[in-house]
Amino acid sequence: MPKTIICSVGTSASKKLGIHPKHLNNWVKERKPIDDAANIMFNSFCKFKPNEENIAAHLSAEIHSLFRIGIDNSDRVFLFTSETEDGYCCGLAVQKYLEHYWPEIEVTTEYINGLQVENAQKFRNQGVVEYIKKATEAIENYGNVILNPTGGYKALVPYTVLLGMIKGVECKYIFEQSTSLIGLPALPVEFKQSQFEAYKELFEKIDRDSSISKKEWENCVPYQARLLLEPLIEQSGNEITLSGVGFLFLDEMRKPSALVPFLSRQAIDDCFDNVAQLDDCDPFRFLQRVSTSQEAFQQAEHINVGNGLRWLKPGRTTDRYLVSIEGWRLLVWRVIREDEKGKKYANKVKVDPEGDRRQYLPFMRMEYLNQ
Amino acid sequence: MPKTIICSVGTSASKKLGIHPKHLNNWVKERKPIDDAANIMFNSFCKFKPNEENIAAHLSAEIHSLFRIGIDNSDRVFLFTSETEDGYCCGLAVQKYLEHYWPEIEVTTEYINGLQVENAQKFRNQGVVEYIKKATEAIENYGNVILNPTGGYKALVPYTVLLGMIKGVECKYIFEQSTSLIGLPALPVEFKQSQFEAYKELFEKIDRDSSISKKEWENCVPYQARLLLEPLIEQSGNEITLSGVGFLFLDEMRKPSALVPFLSRQAIDDCFDNVAQLDDCDPFRFLQRVSTSQEAFQQAEHINVGNGLRWLKPGRTTDRYLVSIEGWRLLVWRVIREDEKGKKYANKVKVDPEGDRRQYLPFMRMEYLNQ
């Protein structure tokens, strides 16, 4: 399966030019247009083929790590550079190299506004946010994504790691002077969606309008909640904007990478007192599986009731699940047995999700201790 | 309140010596004992007082960031260095500097076995694990901890970030060439304890015996679960050891930084149908608070029933909670109203946590949708 690799890019592609990092930006500026500078840079290392011998000694951190990741012609690479001209030039030079040795590979070099090291506030308010936006977009559009923070600023690494955790994407990077790849697999952590739900509308508004006033923030968010929400915003003067983390969390609420199953009180009784007692029937594993895999959900879909509710059928077993999707939640309204209700169970067990809602509340998160 | 700052340490303390990083290790070895080398190094920068003018230009990354964090004489600093002699020497030199300018400060320099850049497997199997062990120990023993990954290997940053997230501790670091501190506050993420619980005993065993055989691992963990657990182990040859992440998760299960409330089916009815209906009574907020704060829990403790069960009392309201702590869970068995059950409610509402357990199962995680 083709891979998509998201790389942050530093300036190590310039190393064969023998220019002090301090002077690199001027060197690039003196060689406009930037593509000319990138060509000169590319020519300084293009003769070094991507092989064991050359990879660490003569080639850039990005090329080194991409080689270790095992890229091939069917892959796609995003090179995200700083907003500085030397950073962008290095990205273009890396792109030329990749296209030279893997002619079919799809490479995109983009500079990230605000990604620079002179102004920390701009880095956080703009650079990190834009980096996370571009990276989540790539994660959403393509499967089999790998995050590669080998190149680029150390200050960006924490955000890459967080991105990988929340989106369930693996990080791979090269270990400093070493030549081995370190992998940080998609870790089993999740962010506490429930705690933010009350403020989702407000975050949507900040995202839409780019910022809100500090006064509005304080009016909408009670004092006790502000500490909790602090990581999700940036404050500059009287303006509140979304932080990179805030954008990531909002994005995950809008387009969750996995659903979380919640059982109505009726469904709790249905599951524990009835269906789970059957041999060869594990309602919880089934609900977990359809929550984490869209494919499994689609396969299980049996009857679309039409009012947002669907009956799911696991396979040849007799258990049936009446569910709906609300945001990041999979609501489970009823769980029944076809052998009890009969083949026309969908006509017999009817739920009006609006009118009957009250009697199904609360939906409890499907996480339990049962021994 | 005194702070405890955990710093990873690199080699930037050597910069005033004017030695190429490649030759630093030899330079240190030629000046044994190591404390002599550290004194020479310290003398190369001790005249630069910790102030705005000197801090970025003349002093090491660790001193720079500690200055920005605002250390004072009442604080405690852990300097964790690589296992290399040059790394350790730099740590000692930084310690001398801190003790010189903040004579009352408590500084400990420790080298971390396996923390080096020549051997990636050793870095992961030993270096990262020991770093996480030492850091979690410090987090456990002292309050008000800040993680500071400004110095040291970039490859360690992901683990520092993860540590901060799981333990609810803030990271602060200096932005490359900039002079501003970046803070990554304790983020609202959690790891999925439930998924690991079934394997806790096995992880305990690996930790106790340092490793188990690959065969035992495969016997104990079904194929489908191995992918999920992969981040928690390291494999070398036929040996399975705990990864840094594995140790961190095991530690968090043993000594959770916060409890997670779970309601019995009876308590779900008690809460939603009765207590939550009262004015000025929010059972969920109360249970959340006592779960996340030991102090709040102790304050609320009203009657210790003696069999592991305790009645909690929020304050002047009439709601009472019969709870027990099992590992990382706060089990809520009953929620009652004193105005209904009378002052002697503890004698009236009796639960035998062993004999009656079945009728209270399942305990559902207290996370719900109620509208």
pLDDT tens by residue, B323-333: 999 999 999 99
Q: What is the pLDDT of residue B316?
A: 86
8 Å CB contact of A192 and B195: no
Nearest-angstrom CA–CA distance, A367 and B190: 14
pLDDT tens by residue, B82-131: 999 999 999 999 999 999 999 999 999 999 999 998 888 899 899 999 99
Residue among A67, A87, A83, A84 at smallest CA distance from A75: A67
Nearest-angstrom CA–CA distance, B257 and B159: 18
Strands in chain B per DSSP E: 4-8, 76-81, 106-111, 145-148, 170-174, 181-184, 189-191, 212-213, 233-236, 239-242, 260-263, 301-304, 310-312, 319-326, 329-337, 363-365, 368-369
Residue A22 near residue A39, CB atoms below 8 Å: no
Nearest-angstrom CA–CA distance, A26 and A37: 11
Per-residue pLDDT for B69 more than 90? yes
Per-residue pLDDT for B176 more than 80? no
8 Å CB contact of A368 and B176: no
Q: What is the pLDDT of residue A111?
A: 97
Structure tokens given for A241:
């904007």
- Which residues on chain B are in Cβ contact (under 8 Å) with A176? 117, 153-155
Q: What is the mean pLDDT of residues B68-77?
A: 97
Q: Is some CB atom of chain A closer than 8 A to the CB atom of B88?
A: no
This prediction has a pTM of 0.87
What average pLDDT is seen over chain B?
Answer: 93
What domains lie within chain A, and their CATH numbers? 4-184 (3.40.50.10770), 193-253 (no CATH), 260-369 (3.30.2310.20)
Q: Is some CB atom of chain B closer than 8 A to the CB atom of A226?
A: no
Q: Angle at Cα A240 formed by Cα A234 and Cα A245, nearest 5°? A: 35
Select from B153, B268, B331 the Cβ nearest to the Cβ of A364: B268
pLDDT tens by residue, A90-112: 999 999 999 999 999 999 999 99
**From the CA of B343, how many Å to the nearest CA of chain A?**
30
Q: What is the pLDDT of residue A163?
A: 93
Structure tokens given for A261:
């199953």
Residue B56 near residue B179, CB atoms below 8 Å: yes
8 Å CB contact of B190 and A190: yes
- This complex has an ipTM of 0.84
Q: Are strands B189-191 and B170-174 parallel, antiparallel or unpaired?
A: unpaired
pLDDT of chain A, 371 residues: tens digit per residue: 899 999 999 999 999 999 988 899 999 999 989 999 999 999 999 999 999 999 988 999 999 999 999 999 999 999 999 999 999 999 999 999 999 999 999 999 999 999 998 888 899 899 999 999 999 999 999 989 999 999 999 889 989 989 998 898 999 998 777 778 888 888 888 888 888 888 999 999 999 999 999 999 999 999 988 888 888 999 888 999 999 999 999 998 888 888 999 999 999 999 999 999 888 889 999 999 999 999 999 999 999 998 999 999 998 899 999 999 999 999 999 999 999 999 999 999 999 999 999 999 999 999 999 98
Q: What is the pLDDT of residue B341?
A: 94
Report the residue count for chain B.
371
Say which residues have a Cβ less than 8 Å from residue A215's Cβ, sequence separation at least 6.
A238
DSSP A125: I
Q: What is the pLDDT of residue B192?
A: 84
User: A52-56, A254-258, B304-308, B357-361: lowest mean pLDDT where?
Assistant: A254-258
Q: What is the pLDDT of residue B103?
A: 97
Structure tokens given for A84:
């500085």
* Beta-bridge mates of residue B78: B6, B108
Q: What is the pLDDT of residue B169?
A: 93
Nearest-angstrom CA–CA distance, A126 and A87: 17
pLDDT tens by residue, A5-52: 999 999 999 999 999 888 999 999 999 899 999 999 999 999 999 999
Q: Is some CB atom of chain B closer than 8 A to the CB atom of A192?
A: yes
Q: What is the pLDDT of residue A287?
A: 97
**From the CA of B66, how many Å to the nearest CA of chain A?**
16
Q: What is the pLDDT of residue B27?
A: 96
How large is the greatest C-alpha to C-alpha distance in chain A, in angstroms?
80
B181 pLDDT band, cuts 50/70/90, is confident
Phi first, then psi: give them for residue A202, nearest 5 degrees. -65, -45
Q: What is the pLDDT of residue B197?
A: 85
Query: Left if phi > 0, otherwise alpha if psi is -120 to 50, otherwise beta: which for A228?
Result: alpha
How large is the greatest C-alpha to C-alpha distance in chain B, in angstroms?
80
Select from B117, B175, B185 the Cβ nearest to the Cβ of A177: B117
Is the dihedral angle over the CA atoms A201, A202, A208, A209 positive or is it negative? positive
8 Å CB contact of A158 and B195: no
**From the CA of A92, how many Å to the nearest CA of chain B?**
23
Q: Locate tokens 């062990």: which residue?
A: B133
Nearest-angstrom CA–CA distance, A360 and A265: 6
- Which residues on chain B are in Cβ contact (under 8 Å) with A263? 364
Select from B175, B190, B191 the Cβ nearest to the Cβ of A155: B175
Cα pseudo-dihedral B67, B71, B73, B77, rounded to 10 = -100
- Which residues on chain A are in Cβ contact (under 8 Å) with B127? none
Q: Is some CB atom of chain A closer than 8 A to the CB atom of B329?
A: yes
Q: What is the pLDDT of residue B108?
A: 98
pLDDT tens by residue, B228-285: 888 899 988 899 999 999 999 999 888 888 899 999 999 999 999 999 988 889 999 9
- Which residues on chain A are in Cβ contact (under 8 Å) with B158? 157-158, 161, 171, 184
Q: What is the pLDDT of residue B185?
A: 82
Per-residue pLDDT for B369 more than 90? yes
